[in-house]
Amino acid sequence: MSVLFDEVNVCGMTLKNRFVRSATYEGYAAVDGQPTERLARLYYELAEGEVGLIMTSATQVDGYKNLPEVEGLPYPTAMDDDKFIDHWRPIVDGVHERGSKFAMQIVHPGRSDTPGLRRADPIAPSAVPIEATGVTPHAMTTEEIKASVEQFAQACRRVKEAGFDAVQLHGGHGYLISNFISPYTNVREDKYGGNTENRARFIVEIVERARELVGADYPIMIKMNCDDFVPGGLDSDEAVKVAKIITEAGIDCIEVTGGIAESRKQTARKSIVMEMDEAYFRPYAAALKENVSVPIILVGGLRTPSVIEKAVQEGAADLVSMSRPFIQEPGLVKRWKEGDLSKAECVSCNRCGDNVFKRPLVCYIKEKRKEEEKLFAGRKE
């Protein structure tokens, strides 16, 4: 059997295979950030599809307050209050009963936040405007940075108390942690800006404070930009330096990613047609593998079992992560394990991602197919 289906121990977790469901924004929360039955069903379906490790969507460490309740709006989950612990526990138990490990990704949107929802200017290490939106974030004070560190750390504590097997910090895509490590968005002149060590300090302080709350053995992972894809931004060489600093501080696992709001290259790229189009973050994962000792998760356009297996066998990554394929096929891993090794059905149209903050997550190809089947069934009757 393929190495992809080997049982593997990662960060003290025994995973039944090397497949990870990468954090994907579902928009299935209640208006106050609580998980819903619909969200629980999604995670159960992924577990029944034999995904080894399931990541939740990016869950807010500082949730939006007093949002209007409108049917059909894609509300985010939150983990900024102890009340959420009990809401998550039965869902975590349900995932475990179905044989998968479960991790929560936590995030602050940083300069990519929505002022209308936050009812305040976005926060960031520096007041670097986003040209596409015309929004200029508020440059955080030292006191605000310390408060944000505490928000992340307390969220880590809640994640553990809810029964999750691990927590993942979102350090990519131009969100707050990404803002700090990027020389494009961080032009501070104090201890949180300038050289690599200073720009990584925000992550280091989060990990150090979180360790006080969750202990030395609880897995703290990160999804981290390895290239911002903008001039003057984080690049692969600088990302390796950051990775060395944060793993020494206690980060247990790194999932590679890339891109910020100004990037021309999309994080979720379209037109993945040939095998050569797949695994587009592989060079970044391989660079980290050569320089740090923690497990590396490869994401980015993975569609074909042979391509995925080759990445693991050649040592570019320890685990492999997918998002869009699981939106269309939550049972994809089970299908591959049972011998149908045809590539994922996902055609990388990216309509799911393009519309994700406008309505709850769906696969538009799958949705259209269901509508056509209903129409055909109606005509037969």
Q: Where are the beta strands (DSSP E) in 317-370?
A: 319-322
Phi-psi region of 207 (alpha: psi -120 to 50; beta: other; left: phi over 0): alpha
Burial of 264 (0-12, 13-18, 19+ CB in 10 A): exposed
Give the residue among 51, 2, 4, 101 at the shortest CA–CA distance from 317.
4
Contact assessment for residue 78 and residue 28, using Cβ atoms and an 8 Å cutoff: no
Tell me how far apart the alpha carbons of residues 185 and 123 are, in angstroms, rounded to a whole number.
11
Give the residue among 372, 352, 107 at the shortest CA–CA distance from 224.
107
HSE on the CB side for 63, CA within 13 Å?
21
CA distances from 332 to 1, 3, 36, 282 (A): 16, 16, 24, 21
pLDDT tens over the chain, length 381 residues: 589 999 999 999 999 999 999 999 999 999 999 999 999 999 999 999 999 999 999 999 999 999 999 988 999 999 999 999 999 999 999 999 999 999 999 999 999 999 989 999 999 999 999 987 889 999 999 999 999 999 999 999 999 999 999 999 999 999 999 999 999 999 999 999 999 999 999 999 999 999 999 999 999 999 999 999 999 999 999 999 999 999 999 999 999 999 998 997 777 888 888 999 999 999 999 999 999 999 999 999 999 999 999 999 999 999 999 999 999 999 999 999 999 999 999 898 888 988 878 889 998 888 876 665 555 555 555
**Superfamily, domain 3-380:** Aldolase class I (3.20.20.70)
Q: Where are the beta strands (DSSP E) in 43-182?
A: 53-60, 101-107, 123-124, 138-139, 166-171
Contact assessment for residue 21 and residue 50, using Cβ atoms and an 8 Å cutoff: no
Q: What residue segments make up the domains of the chain, in order of their start?
A: 3-380
Evaluated on CA atoms 259, 264, 265, 271, the torsion sign reads positive
Contact assessment for residue 140 and residue 124, using Cβ atoms and an 8 Å cutoff: yes
Burial of 217 (0-12, 13-18, 19+ CB in 10 A): exposed
Q: Whole-model pTM? A: 0.95
Tell me how far apart the alpha carbons of residues 205 and 303 are, in angstroms, rounded to a whole number.
37
Tell me how far apart the alpha carbons of residues 344 and 192 are, in angstroms, rounded to a whole number.
43
Amino acid at site 306: S
Tell me how far apart the alpha carbons of residues 108 and 59 are, in angstroms, rounded to a whole number.
8
- Which residues belong to the active site? 175
